[in-house]
Amino acid sequence: MTASSVSFPAAVLMAAIGMGWGIYMAISKDHSTMPAHAHLNLLGWVSLFLIGVFYRLHPVLDRSRVALVQAGVWIVATAVMTVGIALIMTGSEIGEPIAAVSSIVVFADMLLFGWLVVGNRQSGRADADMPLAAE
């Protein structure tokens, strides 16, 4: 199992849920949970898919345990944060601590991903020879 093989299907699942949620909001004309919907789409679909692309481009890192943990934490924390934000938007006070804690977890996980990206670029490993952007 690799980080990208976990990231891609989870990203597609979150995109499908986000799209279905958007359609439901449009049909019901109730957009009160739109911020949660937006977080799910941005963090769950876009960011997670891009994380998977990065890992796929760096096969040694993709197979690492730390990358798999990073992707798994991202998936769970994004789902929990989405629920927390939706609860806040629907007036439930329990959503505040759920959203707060999961937001901190997502932020910490992004710092871990950033460390993996920078460490991979500076390591000189064989999988680091593919440029991230035009150099």
DSSP 13-29: HHHHHHHHHHHHHHHHT
* 132 part of a folded domain: no
* 134 part of a folded domain: no
Scan for tokens 């692309």, then name that residue: 53
Q: Closest by alpha carbon to 52, among 108, 97, 11?
A: 11
pLDDT tens, 23-36? 999 999 999 999 99
Residues 77-97 have a mean pLDDT of: 96
Rounded Cα distance, 52 and 75, in Å: 12
* 133 part of a folded domain: no
* 135 part of a folded domain: no
Number of domains in the chain: 1
Residues 123, 128, 133, 135: what is their CA dihedral angle, to the nearest 10 degrees? Answer: 70
* 130 part of a folded domain: no
Does an H or E element contain 37, and which?
helix 34-39
Residues 6+ apart with CB under 8 A from 66: 112, 116
- pTM for the full model? 0.85
pLDDT tens, 49-77? 999 999 999 999 999 999 999 999 999 99
Does the pLDDT at position 120 exceed 80? no
Rounded Cα distance, 104 and 64, in Å: 24
* 69 part of a folded domain: yes
Q: Structural domain of residue 97, as residue ranges?
A: 3-124
